[in-house]
Amino acid sequence: MTPTSAGRRLDPIALLGLEGPDVGCDGCFELLDQYVEGLATRADTAAAFPGMAEHLLGCPACDEEAMSLAAVVASPPPVRPPAA
């Protein structure tokens, strides 16, 4: 259900003062791993994934998933014991 004001549908992206499309949850989850990897490598994610940042700012569930993936990407790989 989308909040309304005097019968008009409120646009959360416009309320946040953001520009661009919102990819939606389905689009976000489809590309989220690539987006997070792009952030980790300092790629131009705004150009490669238009609307992703706007969606994450307006969707707590997707943002939480992005933060979880970012933590995994940032963590060091497990240390394997030397072969005997």
DSSP string, 22-65: --HHHHHHHHHHHHHHHHHTT--HHHHSTTHHHHHHH-HHHHHH
SS3 state at 5: strand
- N- to C-terminal Cα distance for the chain? 60
41 vs 2, residue with greater confidence: 41
pLDDT 10s digits, 53-74: 989 988 999 999 999 999 998 8
Residue 10 contacts residue 2 (beta carbons within 8 Å): yes
